[in-house]
C-alpha cells in the first residue's frame, strides 16, 4: 500500500495529497492519471496527476470532495495508507514543438492544467495561463501558476479575484489583441471546455481538451469512459484523456456525466449520515 506523505486543505472542498509512489513517479508525465482506492471496499477514483517528484518518489493528487468516495478518501491523513494507487495511466500531454501556448483552467481543473503549464514553461515555451474560479475562496495553485507561466490571467465569476468574467472572456481578449497561439490547452468543467473550444474554432486555433468521463478499470475494457470524437467512439482511459477539442461531442459527454447523479446523491447522503452518527465512512 502507498503512504500519504502530506495532506493539505486547499479550500473548503478541495484537498491535496502527496503519496509515496516511487515507481509511478519514475514514469509519470503531465496529462496522465492514476486510479486510487482509499479502502479495500472503496470505489476506484480516477485522478489526474497534479505533480510528481522523481527524486523523492512522490506523486501529488488534488481532488474535490463531491461524493461518498472522495469523502472516504478525505478521512485519511498524513501517515495513513491508501488501499491501492495505480498508474501512470493514459497518454501524456504532447508539448513537443510548441513555442507559444495558452493553458486555460477552470475550478479544480486547474490542478490538471498546472503540471501542463509547468512542463511547457520549463521546456522554454511562452505560456499564457488563464485560471478561472467562481470566487476568491475557491482559488488553488495561484502561486504555482504565476511561477510557471510567462503571463498569468486570473478571472472569477463574482470579481472577487482578478478580473470579473469567464475564462473565455480573457482568452478572447488575448486573441483579439493579436496573440498568436500554436495551441490552446483547456481543462475544467465540461461546459467551460465546450465554450473555450467553440471560441478557438472561430479563430482556427488548435485546441486540446482534457476529458474526465466516468471510468472504472482504466484499461479500456469496461467501456464506461467512451466519448464521441470526430464521429467515432474513443476511450478516454487508453486513448486520452486529451483529445482534439473541436471534434469532441461535449453535449453527449455532459449527458453521460449526469447518468448516475441520483445514485451519487444517495451515497453522499448516506456517507454524511454515518459521519454524523460517529461511525465514520472509513469504518
Q: In what order do the strands lie in the sheet with 126-133?
A: 163-164, 151-156, 126-133, 100-106, 183-187, 207-210, 242-244
CB atoms within 10 A of CB 181: 21
Looking at the domain that runs over 2-89, which CATH code has it been given? 2.40.30.10
- Residue 132 is placed in which grid cell? 478561472
CATH of 93-210, one of 3.30.1330.10, 3.20.20.70, 3.40.50.80, 1.10.1040.50: 3.40.50.80
- In the chain, residues under CATH classification 3.40.50.80 are 93-210
How confident is the model over 15-70, as pLDDT tens digits?
999 999 999 999 999 999 999 999 999 999 999 999 999 999 999 999 999 888 99
Mean pLDDT (the chain, rounded): 92
Give the residue ranges of DSSP H helices in the chain. 22-27, 68-74, 110-122, 142-147, 167-176, 190-203, 236-239, 250-257, 261-277
How confident is the model over 217-256, as pLDDT tens digits?
777 778 888 999 999 999 998 999 999 999 999 999 999 8
pLDDT at 261 over 90: no
pLDDT at 186 over 80: yes
- In the chain, residues under CATH classification 2.40.30.10 are 2-89
Task: Give the model's confidence band at 260: pLDDT under 50 very low, under 70 low, under 90 confident, else very high.
Answer: low
Amino acid at each position: 500500500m502507498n503512504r500519504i506523505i502530506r495532506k493539505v486543505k486547499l479550500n473548503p472542498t478541495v484537498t491535496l495529497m502527496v503519496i509515496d509512489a516511487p515507481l509511478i513517479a519514475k514514469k509519470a508525465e503531465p496529462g496522465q492519471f492514476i486510479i486510487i482506492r482509499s479502502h479495500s471496499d472503496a470505489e476506484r477514483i480516477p485522478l489526474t496527476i497534479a505533480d510528481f517528484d522523481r527524486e523523492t518518489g512522490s506523486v501529488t493528487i488534488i481532488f474535490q470532495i463531491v461524493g461518498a468516495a472522495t469523502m472516504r478518501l478525505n478521512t485519511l491523513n498524513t501517515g495513513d495508507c491508501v488501499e491501492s494507487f495505480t498508474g501512470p495511466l493514459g497518454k501524456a500531454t504532447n508539448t513537443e514543438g510548441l513555442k507559444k501556448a495558452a493553458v486555460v483552467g477552470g475550478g479544480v481543473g486547474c490542478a490538471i492544467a498546472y503540471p501542463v503549464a509547468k512542463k511547457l514553461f520549463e521546456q522554454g515555451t511562452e505560456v499564457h495561463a488563464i485560471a478561472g474560479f467562481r470566487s476568491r475562496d475557491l482559488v488553488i495553485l495561484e502561486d504555482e501558476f504565476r511561477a510557471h507561466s510567462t503571463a498569468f490571467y486570473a478571472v472569477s465569476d463574482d470579481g472577487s479575484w482578478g478580473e470579473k468574467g469567464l475564462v473565455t472572456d480573457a482568452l478572447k481578449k488575448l486573441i483579439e489583441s493579436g496573440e498568436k497561439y500554436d495551441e490552446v490547452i483547456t481543462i475544467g468543467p465540461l461546459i467551460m471546455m465546450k465554450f473555450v473550444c467553440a471560441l478557438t474554432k472561430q479563430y482556427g486555433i488548435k485546441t486540446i481538451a482534457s476529458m474526465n468521463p466516468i471510468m472504472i478499470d482504466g484499461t479500456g475494457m469496461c467501456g464506461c469512459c467512451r466519448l464521441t470524437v470526430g464521429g467515432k467512439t474513443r476511450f478516454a482511459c487508453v486513448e486520452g484523456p486529451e483529445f482534439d477539442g473541436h471534434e469532441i461531442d461535449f453535449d453527449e459527454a455532459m449527458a453521460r456525466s449526469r447518468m448516475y447523479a441520483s445514485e451519487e446523491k444517495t451515497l453522499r447522503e448516506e456517507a454524511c449520515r454515518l459521519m454524523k452518527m460517529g461511525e465514520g465512512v472509513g469504518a
